[in-house]
Amino acid sequence: MSPIYRKILGIYLLVLVLGISLSTLIYTNGSAVFDSTGSLVEEDIPQLTAISRLRVAIMQQKPVLYEYYATTDRAVFLRKFELIQRDVETGLHPIQGVIADKELYEQISKKNDWINKLAEKLDITLNTSPIDWDLARELLVEVSDTENRITPDIDALVELNHQHVQHSGMLAQDKTQLMIRLVIVFSIVIFLIAIFIGYYINAYIAETAERRRLAMFAERNPNPVLRLNWDGGVNYSNPASQTLIEQLGLNQVAELLPKDFSVRLQALRASNRDTCNLEFSLHERVFECLIHTLTDLHSYHVYLEDVTENKQAQQKLLHQAYHDDLTGLPNRRRLSEIFQTVTAGDSQANMAIILLRVDRIKRVLESQGYGASDHLLRALAERLNELMQDSKNSHGLSYLFRLEGATFGMLLPELDSAHQLGLLAERLQASMRDPLQVNTQEFFFTLSIGASIYPLDGRDLENLIRNAEAAVNRVRATGGNAFQCYTQDMNARAQRWLDLENGLRRALQRNEMALYFQPQASISAAQIIGVEALLRWRREDQQFISPVEFIPLAEESGLIIPIGEWVLRTACLQAISWQKTGMGKLVMAVNISARQFQHPGFVGLVGQILKETGLEPQYLELEITESVVMHDVEQTIATLNALRELQVKLSIDDFGTGYSSLSYLKRFPIHKLKVDQSFVRNMTRDANDVAIIKSVIALGQSLNLQVIAEGVETLEQLALLKQFGCDEVQGYLYSRPVPPAEFEQWLHAVTEESFTGTKH
């Protein structure tokens, strides 16, 4: 027997002796605790319960006797008193055998018997005619005195019981504390012993386990492990090697190794290295092989691992990193790599970047949802990919990518001429003539195509993509479904647009906005009846920005909402100011943009501004363009009716340039039609314009609407309009749009000199 075994056995014997001793002491003290608690449960608690019942029963006798004295109902008295006596007997009986003070028990019993005798006397007294009430009261007084004498005896009985319980509890507590101390001491001893032997046992077990693990490493390794002799012959193979041979359908272990394995062993020995890693394929599976040279044993250890799944996962991750999940096309990252490869070595070959953006796909998203949009993009990618494959022979090598959203990209690394781009764009647009089918539905789309050329339009990918996008945006701005190559002015235009937008965001804060006013005259009355408020923007550098340039920008950016509110409030304030200074009650005409009119809070805003400024609503005229009112006819009618309830005037601006339906026009609660200046400008030279103006005036008269012509510049034009029956005119014939102060001077001059219908 080894020394460590003898030490462990001795310690185990010591622990056994200590355990037996502890168990004996715990048993002895536990028996004492059990006896104490048993006495408490079997005697003291029942005795205490009996005393409590006895106290209650004795205390109930007096109320029953007094009740009997008051009611003289003998039947009730006998029934209740008999029940009380039973409770008294029930309380006295358990106490009799266990109480230590027998004299105390006798005193309680005798006093209770005396109460019974007094009760019998009271019963006789109350049932003897005539009743001696004085005697009955004396008997009740004596019952009370006897009861008062019993109470201290019962309290003494309770005290005896309490002392006995306290003694038993202290005894049990002492025994329990002793057992706890014994257990603590034993636990400490066991803990010290465990620390003492733990080191030796752990060292022994660890050493043994390590040897077993080392011995079983090869046998239990899930990967093939081989041991080869110095010549490359197999001396050993683990079970995993045999399993792999069966899976691959091989005949022997040597077939698991590459055919040139002996050559690799020779190269390893010649290199004076201990290890070598190699990767090879076998039966469509990929293996990694580690060769470890044991020079002192003249042998090799070979470890094989099947890494097929890892390789597949790596390839999948690599594919996901460079391809779009939805369409499977290469993504922007792949485009960047291909571009870098093509341009490596400072290549001077011409290349082209083409961006294709699907027009109006947002409508599909809004009506059909994201699922249908995804299906459409996949179908579109397949069609474009097929087209690219077919175009390789005629247009050279090309790559197709999905960049983002509904935007696809193409790289043409072998561009011969810009004409080649045009031909490819024509084929791409022609491919969209056939509908895309998704879920039995057909969808027709067009493409906005923009291109930039390397190195003419940029030498890095970001610039080329940005310039191609500028070309696409130019196509979309003109309606889409076209092709455009990048030109230098596009970036300048985009920069100009960005600069204007940044300035427009701060224009109100800097007080750069102003209203100019152009008079409106009544032809029949030959007087000024109103003005149109026109927005002007003068930047900090005193440069005027044309409304044709900044109004569309404000519409697109959403800034037209706060700007339009400022225009409406400022125009109303100006109108009320002129009224207060005696310039007359002129109708203030204010242009309303599409975004303003379609805003859900527009009607409320108009009412609020009228209330704030104090302008009477009949002196405010809101001009809405024909294209706006025909956008959503039912909603337009609802909004116009709400404005009509505010009693403001309503007119349709640029009438004749859109596609108004007469059936809808008669439902619009409007006051005035405004003939667009494009018809007035050439009315003296173009018979078609004259016909249109006559038709608009006739239409207005038939619908009881006022008609105003804008852009009147000559007396000849004015005469013709008067001849046709036009109601009002506006234009340079009277005045250009001018600031408020100049308009006031002009109006005073017209008033003083009499209105002649000529320019001042």
Query: Is 126 exposed, middle or buried (CB count within 10 Å of its CB: 0-12, 13-18, 19+)?
Result: buried
Pick the last residue of a domain from 278, 312, 346.
Answer: 312
User: Is the domain of 475 the same as that of 353?
Assistant: yes
**CA 537, chain centre distance (Å):** 42
* Residue from 358, 361, 218 nearest 302 by CA: 218
Give pLDDT, residue 367.
Answer: 66
- For 149-187, give one letter per residue: b (16+ CB within 10 A) or e: ebeebbeebeebbeebbeebeebbeebeebbeebeeebe
Pick the last residue of a domain from 431, 451, 486.
Answer: 486
**What domain range is 407 assigned to?**
323-486
CATH code: domain of residue 99: 1.20.120.1730
Residue 578 lies in a domain: yes
CATH code: domain of residue 571: 3.20.20.450
Pick the last residue of a domain from 312, 335, 357.
Answer: 312
How many helices (H) does the chain have, and how many strands (E)?
25, 21
User: Is the domain of 276 the same as that of 405?
Assistant: no
User: Is the domain of 649 the same as that of 548?
Assistant: yes
Rounded to 5 degrees, φ, ψ at 303 are -120, 125
Please name the residues in contact with 586: beta carbons below 8 A apart, sequence gap of 6 or more: 528, 529, 530, 531, 575, 578, 619
pLDDT higher than 80, residue 444: yes
User: Is the domain of 82 the same as that of 142?
Assistant: yes
Q: What percent of the chain has pLDDT over 70?
A: 87
C-alpha to C-alpha distance for 680 and 521, rounded to whole angstroms: 16
- For 89-118, give one letter per residue: b (16+ CB within 10 A) or e: eebbebbeeebeeeebbebbeeebeebeeb
User: Is the domain of 162 the same as that of 28?
Assistant: yes
Mean pLDDT for 611-638 is: 87
Please name the residues in contact with 68: beta carbons below 8 A apart, sequence gap of 6 or more: 74, 76, 77, 81, 122, 123, 126
CATH code: domain of residue 270: 3.30.450.20
712 Rama sector, left if φ>0, alpha if ψ -120 to 50, beta otherwise: beta
User: Is the domain of 425 the same as that of 503?
Assistant: no
pLDDT higher than 50, residue 760: no
- What is the enclosing helix (H) or strand (E) of 372? helix 370-395
pLDDT higher than 80, residue 94: no
Residue 517 lies in a domain: yes
User: What confidence tens digit (pLDDT) does each residue in 554-580 have?
Assistant: 887 788 899 999 999 999 999 999 999
Give pLDDT, residue 743.
Answer: 94
Residue 34 lies in a domain: yes
Q: Worst-scoring range by mean pLDDT, 116-125, 202-211, 245-254, 623-632? A: 202-211
Using alpha carbons only, give the angle 52, 53, 56 rounded to the nearest 5 degrees: 90
Rounded to 5 degrees, φ, ψ at 528 are -80, 125
Give the Cβ contact number of residue 236 at 10 Å: 14
pLDDT band for 5, please (50, 70, 90 cuts): low
The β-bridge relationship of strands 436-438 and 441-443 is antiparallel
Give pLDDT, residue 659.
Answer: 53
Note the pTM of the prediction, 2 decimals: 0.49
Residue 735 lies in a domain: yes
pLDDT band for 514, please (50, 70, 90 cuts): very high
Measured CA distances, 291 to 226, 232, 302, 711 (Å)? 10, 11, 5, 94
User: What confidence tens digit (pLDDT) does each residue in 333-355 have?
Assistant: 998 988 888 888 655 667 889 99
* Positive or negative torsion for Cα 114, 116, 117, 123: positive
* Positive or negative torsion for Cα 246, 247, 250, 254: negative
Question: Is 132 in a helix, a strand, or coil?
Answer: coil
User: Is the domain of 549 the same as that of 685?
Assistant: yes
User: What confidence tens digit (pLDDT) does each residue in 49-70 have?
Assistant: 777 777 787 877 878 888 878 8
Residue 548 lies in a domain: yes
Residue 209 lies in a domain: no
Fill in the DSSP letter of residue 282: E
* Number of domains present in the structure of the chain: 4
User: Is the domain of 258 the same as that of 349?
Assistant: no
Q: DSSP letters of 465-498?
A: HHHHHHHHHHHHHTTSSEEEE--HHHHHHHHHHH
Answer whether 549's CB lies under 8 Å from 500's CB.
yes
User: Is the domain of 458 the same as that of 527?
Assistant: no
C-alpha to C-alpha distance for 394 and 647, rounded to whole angstroms: 68
Q: Which residue has the higher pLDDT, 69 or 409?
A: 409
User: Is the domain of 341 the same as that of 276?
Assistant: no
C-alpha to C-alpha distance for 518 and 736, rounded to whole angstroms: 6
User: Is the domain of 293 the same as that of 345?
Assistant: no
Residue 220 lies in a domain: no
Q: What percent of the chain has pLDDT over 90?
A: 21
Residue 385 lies in a domain: yes
User: Is the domain of 383 the same as that of 517?
Assistant: no
CA dihedral 402, 408, 409, 410 (to 10 degrees): 100
Using alpha carbons only, give the angle 486, 488, 494 rounded to the nearest 5 degrees: 85
pLDDT band for 97, please (50, 70, 90 cuts): low
pLDDT band for 76, please (50, 70, 90 cuts): confident
